[in-house]
Structure formats: structure tokens, C-alpha cells
Amino acid sequence: MEIDYEEIKYLNNPNIIDIREHYLYERGHLKGSINIPLRVLRTMPDKYLSFDKIYYLICETGFNSKRLSTILNNKGYHTYSIKSGYEK
């Protein structure tokens, strides 16, 4: 599932996970987001995610976050991909 960034602004304290590599996250990221790189979150979701929370994933373009969101949702997690991603 996907969501627009504009919709995120109206949510109360959303759990935003930036799945880009750490060096890209350090160059700029959404306020309040945390960084868990794609390769880490894909292989160890149980270490970082809970089945009773909703997470919003973001990457550079929205492509990788959409793919990972589908994988995680198929495992029972509740995730959305933020459309268009974050490029800076």
C-alpha cells in the first residue's frame, strides 16, 4: 500500500522508517524518521518491527519502499510506502 507524504503530515506521531543507506539518510531525511537500511530491515524485521504498529517506509524514489512494504505486509506487518520517496 502507498501513501502520499502530504497525508503523513496529518498523522499523529507516525512511525517513519527511512530505508536508504545511512550516508544518504545523514545528508537529509524526514523529520522524526529513523534509519534502518533496506538490507537490514528485509532480513531482520522482527528485530525492529511490531505486528501491532503501523510503519511508513521511505526510500529515494518510492520503488524500494513499495517492494519492501509488500514483503513485510505479506509477513503480517502493517506498512505503507511513501510515494515518490525522498531525494536530496
Indicate which CATH number applies to the domain containing 45: 3.40.250.10
Reported as a pLDDT band with limits 50, 70 and 90, residue 88 is low
Beta carbons within 10 angstroms of residue 84's beta carbon: 14
Is residue 58 a part of any domain in this protein? yes
Reported as a pLDDT band with limits 50, 70 and 90, residue 58 is very high
Query: How many angstroms separate the CA atoms of 76 and 88, rounded?
Result: 32
Is residue 23 a part of any domain in this protein? yes
pLDDT at 54 over 60: yes
The closest alpha carbon to 85, from 59, 57, 66, belongs to 59
Domains held by the chain: number: 1
- Where does residue 4 rank: exposed (0-12), middle (13-18), buried (19+ CB within 10 A)? exposed
- pTM value is 0.94
Is residue 87 a part of any domain in this protein? no
Is residue 8 a part of any domain in this protein? yes
Is residue 35 a part of any domain in this protein? yes
DSSP-based three-state secondary structure for 85? coil
